[in-house]
Amino acid sequence: SAVISQKPSRDICQRGTSLTIQCQVDSQVTMMFWYRQQPGQSLTLIATANQGSEATYESGFVIDKFPISRPNLTFSTLTVSNMSPEDSSIYLCSAGQLQYGYTFGSGTRLTVV
Amino acid sequence: GENVEQHPSTLSVQEGDSAVIKCTYSDSASNYFPWYKQELGKRPQLIIDIRSNVGEKKDQRIAVTLNKTAKHFSLHITETQPEDSAVYFCAASISSGSARQLTFGSGTQLTVLP
């Protein structure tokens, strides 16, 4: 299974600022996924990041708010822009292969004050 | 899109007893069903998965069953231990090119009482 390194693990940010979260995978993967998990809740898919093309966003998430980069087959970033307290959450990336299943990064706990 | 419902939301069992968590899905095209275990403050970990061409899969104390006709699948944990206490999420997926987008259930908080 893919091993994913995610950073930062946590951050406290001022409203109106932006935070970029990075994920590095130990193998080449076609797609990477970004999720949000509110405390005590399930995982909600934000977007799918495909190398060489624009990310595909789920309903309720837009590129201006959550720009994503995917410069190569092992790396992706998610930026949370113009943050408000409602953006406080845990953000997770995921990747893998069809035959081996999908694993998650360790998550980024974001608090916006 | 796909919708996954998971029950129960909380489950308490005595150590050594069995635990069963059930999920239903809406899209008959879904063909991959993983289960994740998430301990407090940790990332979700894949514990078992099943593809639509099989009806049951076992891995030691964990088993998953799939009923494609009824569109439901279940996680069975036997001989539960305190370290099985965690939140369990089911998910369903439709292949999208070379990767899968997962739709998650709402989660089940399993508590194993010593």
DSSP per-residue letters across A51-77? TTSPPEEPTT--TTTS-EEEEETTEEE
Chain B residues in contact with A42 (beta carbon < 8 A): 89, 104-107
Please name the residues in contact with B60: beta carbons below 8 A apart, sequence gap of 6 or more: none
Q: Which of A11-20, A64-73, A99-108, B60-69 has the lowest mean pLDDT?
A: A99-108
User: Radius of gyration over alpha carbons of chain A, in Å?
Assistant: 13
Residue contact A45–B102, C-beta within 8 A: yes
For chain B, the average pLDDT equals: 93
Say yes or no to pLDDT of B99 above 70.
Answer: no
Instruction: Please give the average per-residue pLDDT across B76-105, as a whole number.
Output: 88
pLDDT at B108: 98
Angle at alpha carbon of residue A55, lines to A52 and A56, rounded to 5°? 135
For testing the chain A interface, which of B37, B39, B100, B108 should be mutated: the one with the most A CBs within 10 Å? B100
Residue A92: list chain B partners with CB under 8 A: 43-44
| pLDDT at position A97 over 90 | no
Per-residue confidence (pLDDT) for residue B98, from 0 to 100: 56
Measured from the Cβ of residue A109, the count of other Cβ atoms closer than 10 Å reads: 17
pLDDT in tens, B69-87: 999 999 999 999 999 999 9
Kindly list the residues from chain A whose CB atom is less than 8 angstroms away from the CB atom of residue B97.
30-31
Identity of the residue in A33, A41, A104 whose CB atom sits nearest the CB atom of B44: A104
Per-residue pLDDT, B95 = 67
Q: What is the pLDDT of residue B103?
A: 93
Cα B67 from Cα B55, distance rounded (Å): 7
Rounded Cα distance between B8 and A37, Å, is 19
* Angstrom distance (rounded) from CA A91 to CA A7: 10
Among B42, B89, B97, select the one facing A42 at the smallest CB separation: B89
Confidence class for position A64, pLDDT limits 50, 70, 90: very high
Reduced to 3 states (helix: H, G, I; strand: E, B; else coil), residue A23 is strand
Whether residue B103 and residue A98 make contact (CB cut-off 8 A), yes or no, is no
The pLDDT, as a whole number, for residue B97 is 59
